[in-house]
Amino acid sequence: MRVLITGGAGFIGSHTADALLREGYQVRVLDSLEEPVHPGHAKPAYLDPRIEFIKGDVRNEAVLLDALRGSDYVYHLAAFQDYLPTFSRFFDVNVTSTALIYELIVREKLPVKKVIVASSQAALGEGLYHDANGKPVLPDIRPTEQLERGVWEVQAPKGTTGPLKWQPTDETVANPQNQYGLSKIAEERVALSLGKRYGIPSVAMRYSIVQGPRQSFYNAYSGACRVFSLSFHLGREPMIYEDGQQVRDFVNVQDVVDANLLVLRDERADYEMFNVGGDKAHTVASFATVVAEVFGAKGYQAAPCGKFRFGDTRHICSDVSKLKSLGWKPTRTVHESVEAYKAWLSTADNAAQILDYCNQQMAALNVVRDVNKA
């Protein structure tokens, strides 16, 4: 059986490819090797030589059709994610390419047995909250003027009673707050709707914050593990935004791979959407403490830097009960994820330049902003 992985030279894709090879599948990868994730548009050295590699864009019909021919299964992991305000590109890459996969399968009568698409926890936005009376609330994005005053918690909207309390959020919620999350909601619905309509078993996977080796050093969207690890590696104080009490759930890339293989084989997953998360809430400050421990920073206590990131959610933690009902569960700890990332970071010979580049990019895009409580 041959499996096509779009975006297969990347973080989740390459680990999924390795697992499929171990299971005896033939693997084909289609990847455009875009910068900054792949510096110099170079194929990464970690990509297994047994993989059939095609360099190309998933929006190119001829290239995509060539990759789909002879493929029995498809993981569509190629995506555009960034803080750039290039709104149309998010939909062009993430949604148009997904529609094109189904268009080609239907038009060319390709015998593809299943399509698995990568969605994101970003589709949940602020997620589910309950107000003081237990009423469910799906909050909007926090106003910038509120954040500039250093008021961090989501405020109760009209018709509800505060304070609000965040809840683990399941797959029934769709409340995206940015262009990436919006594009992923659209991608999910394209895949599941067209898959069901044309009898192509399809699965959407809403990944939480995935961590581990091969995560790009240069992708500003890749988050806390990269930034904190680079900071402690260089002996610098990490940037703790807001008050550090934001809640997140982190999942190890190998747990994600286990989930990817499970839904490939299990027919109960067909035409369903699944959260893929760590099943445990962490504050950003407590996660920074874990990173400090791994890098040998004794007695570290997280201190807010007086800034916030525009567009960040306050609290989000995915409810993974649905995927667990199929027999999956996350088994790796955040400590193991950071240990693995530390080993990966040791392969970077220009860590200071990487951290400075990422900080400069965030500042240039006006993503990181100052708190002004006056």
Angle in degrees, CA 156, 154, 90, rounded to 5: 120
CA atoms within 13 A on the CB side of 57: 10
3-state secondary structure of 22: helix
Both tokens of 350, joined, read: 């220009």
Q: Which residues of the chain have a pLDDT value below 70? A: 220-222, 373-374
For 324-371, the DSSP string reads HTTT------HHHHHHHHHHHHTT-S-HHHHHHHHHHHHHHTT-EEE-
Rounded Cα gap, residues 352 and 348, in angstroms: 10
**32, 81, 144, 174 from 182: Cα distances, Å:** 23, 12, 20, 9
> How many C-beta atoms lie closer than 10 Å to residue 281's C-beta?
17
Rounded Cα–Cα distance for residues 111 and 73 (Å):
9
Q: What is the dihedral of CA 269, 272, 276, 280, to 10 degrees?
A: -100
CA 189 to CA 174: how far, in whole Å?
Answer: 11
**Cα–Cα dist 293/287, whole Å:** 10
Q: How far apart are CA 158 and CA 338, in angstroms?
A: 41
pLDDT at position 357 is 74
Q: Which helix (H) or strand (E) holds 291?
A: helix 284-294
Q: Report the pLDDT value the prediction gives residue 81, as an integer from 0 to 100.
A: 84
- Per-residue confidence (pLDDT) for residue 88, from 0 to 100: 95
Are residues 164 and 156 in contact, defined by beta-carbon separation less than 8 angstroms? yes
62 Cβ contact list (under 8 Å, min separation 6): none
Domains identified in the chain and CATH numbers: 2-370 (3.40.50.720)
Measured in whole angstroms, the distance separating CA 358 from the mean position of its chain's CA atoms is 18
Q: Are 21 and 89 in contact (CB under 8 A)?
A: no
Nearest alpha carbon to residue 75 among 124, 10, 122, 170: 10
Q: Are 276 and 207 in contact (CB under 8 A)?
A: yes
- Supply the pLDDT for residue 220: 65
d(CA 93, CA 107): 21
Secondary structure of residue 39 in the 3-state scheme:
helix
What is the CA 282 to chain-centroid distance, rounded?
Answer: 17
Per-residue pLDDT of 130-176, as tens digits, reads: 999 999 999 999 999 999 999 999 999 999 999 999 999 999 999 99
Neighbour tally for 86: CB within 10 Å = 12
DSSP secondary-structure letter at 157?
P
- For the segment 58-79, what is each residue's pLDDT rounded down to a tens digit? 999 999 999 999 999 999 999 9
